[in-house]
Copies of this chain bind each other. A is one copy, B any other.
Amino acid sequence: MHVSIISVGNELLRGEVLDTNSHWLSQQLLELGLAVRNRWTVGDRRDDVATALRAALSERPELILVVGGLGPTVDDLTRDGIAEALGTRLVLDEPALEALRARFAGFGVEMPAQNRRQVEFPEGAEVLGNPWGTAPSFVVRSGEGRVVALPGVPRETKKIFERILAPRIREWIPGLTAPLRLVARTFGLGESHLEERVKDLIEKLPAGVSWSSLPRERGNCDLVLTCWGGGQATQDRCHELYVAIQDRLGRHIFSTDPHEELDELVHRLMLESGYTLALAESCTGGLVSARLVAHAGCSRYLERAVVTYSNRSKIEELGVLAETLDRHGAVSEAVALEMARGVRRRAGTDIGASVTGIAGPDGATPEKPVGLVYWAVVTPNSEVVLTRIIPGDREQIRSRSADAVLDALRRALLGPA
C-alpha cells in the first residue's frame, strides 16, 4: 500500500517557494497509516504534469495527491495534465460553477470569466470542494487507485486535507492503522553522545522496528522508534525499549510528544506552577520572550522582559553593578547572575532568568570565544548559572541560547530530578 505526491509549480522549481506542502502531507499521511513512496515536483506545464502522473500510476499506488496548479490563470494546468494522463477530457461542473459564483457574490463581486476554468474537471471526477478558496479539490478513479487534486496555497491544502480528504481516505481504504511511533525529544546532549548512552539498547531492536535520531535546527534531537505492523509481542518489546531509553536519558528528554516544542512545554509548566516570570536578555535580543509570547495565555505569568543590550541598560534596568561589569565583563557568570536577580527584584516576580553571550561574528577575545554564553535562572528555591560554548553562526548561537534558557527554566520548574 503506498502513496505518491506530485507538486506542481514553477515557483517551486525556481527555488522561489519552499515546498512545505508535500512535507506536511507526508506527515499527515503517515499518521493515517499510509507511507509516501515517492514525490515528484514539476513545473506549470501540462505535459510534465501528465508525465509525472503516468509514472506515478505505473507503480499502482492506492492514492496520488497532485498539489498546486488549480488556479484560474492560463498557467494553471494541473486539471489539463490529469485529464491528459487519464486519457479523458475536461467537463464543466454546473453545481461547482454555481457555488463559485455564489462565493464571488458573497464578496459583492461578479465572478471573472477566467475562473470558469477552475470548475472544469476530468470526466468522471467527484468534486471534493474548497470552502476556503476558489479552487475546488477533486478526485478521479484510475484502476484500483485514486488521483486527488488539491490547491497549493498551504492554508487551503491543510484545511481541505484535514476536514475533507482525511475522512474520505479512511472510507476509501478501510482498516488503515498508523505505525507505532515512540518519540523522545531531547535537549542538552549532542546526537553522538545520545547514541553512545543507548547504543546497547538500540543494538537489540526487534525485526520490524526502526530507530532514528533526528537532529533539529533548533539544536535539540529527536529519538524515534517506529514499529510498522508487527505482532503484540513486537510492540510490547518496542515499548520496553522505549522505557529503558527514557530511564537512561532522564531529564535530557523534555517531551514524548513529537509536536511539543520546548517553549510550549515551558509555557505549560509556567502556567501549572502559578509562578510569575521576568526575563533579562542580552545576546538573544528578545528571542526567549518572543518564544513564550508565541503562546496564548503567557500574560498570566510573563510580567516583563528587558533586552539590555548596552552596559548602561544593564545597570539602569537591572541594577547590575558597574564594578561587576568592569571586573568580569558583560559576558560572565557574575553578570548573568546579577541580571537574573535584578530583573526578578525589579519586576517583583517569582522567577528571573537571564542570558548574556557572544553571538559573533565579532566581539570575541582570546579568553572569550564566539559562542560563549552564560545563562541563569533564579527561583524562590534555587539559583543556577550555566555556561557553554555554543557552535554555529550568529543565528544558531542566538537560537540555541534562547532554548538553553528555556531548558534551564524547564529543569528549575520540574525541581530536583
Contacts and interface: CB of A to CB of B under 8 A. Distances in A.
A288 B286 CA distance: 8
Contacts of A20: 18
A302 interface: yes
A37 B43 contact: yes
Contacts of A283: 293
B15 A30 contact: yes
B13 A38 contact: yes
A309 interface: yes
B305 A286 contact: yes
A29 B400 CA distance: 31
Contacts of A297: 362
Interface string A31-44: 00001111111110
Q: Count chain B CB atoms within 10 A of each CB in A13, A36, A55, A279 and give the residue with the most.
A: A13
A283 B294 CA distance: 9
A83 interface: no
A20 B217 CA distance: 12
Given A38-B40, A41-B38, A303-B313, A290 B287 contact: yes
Given A23-B19, A289-B286, A296-B362, A40 B37 contact: no
A306 B304 contact: yes
B35 A26 contact: no
Nearest to A17: B214
A297 B25 CA distance: 41
Given A23-B15, A212-B11, A296-B394, A289 B307 contact: yes
8 contacts: A13-B38, A18-B23, A38-B41, A284-B293, A286-B288, A298-B309, A302-B307, A303-B310
Given A26-B14, A36-B13, A293 B310 contact: no
A326 interface: no
Contacts of A289: 285-286, 307
Given A11-B214, A36-B13, A304 B313 contact: yes
Contacts of A17: 214
Given A15-B25, A38-B52, 19 more contacts: A13-B35, A15-B36, A17-B214, A18-B18, A18-B20, A37-B42, A281-B286, A284-B290, A285-B286, A285-B294, A286-B288, A286-B289, A286-B290, A289-B307, A293-B307, A293-B309, A294-B398, A299-B309, A303-B310
A312 B303 contact: yes
A249 interface: no
A108 interface: no
B306 A310 contact: no
A121 to B, nearest CB: 25
B307 A306 contact: yes
A290 to B, nearest CB: 4
B38 A296 contact: no
Nearest to A393: B155
Contacts of A26: 12-15
A285 B291 CA distance: 8
Given A299-B310, A309-B299, A394-B296, A16 B286 contact: no
B309 A303 contact: yes
Interface string A333-356: 000000000000001000000000
Contact of A27 (B15, B284, B310): B15
Given A23-B19, A286-B281, A294 B13 contact: no
A379 interface: no
A383 interface: no
A302 B309 contact: yes
A25 to B, nearest CB: 8
Contacts of A361: 296
Contacts of A123: none
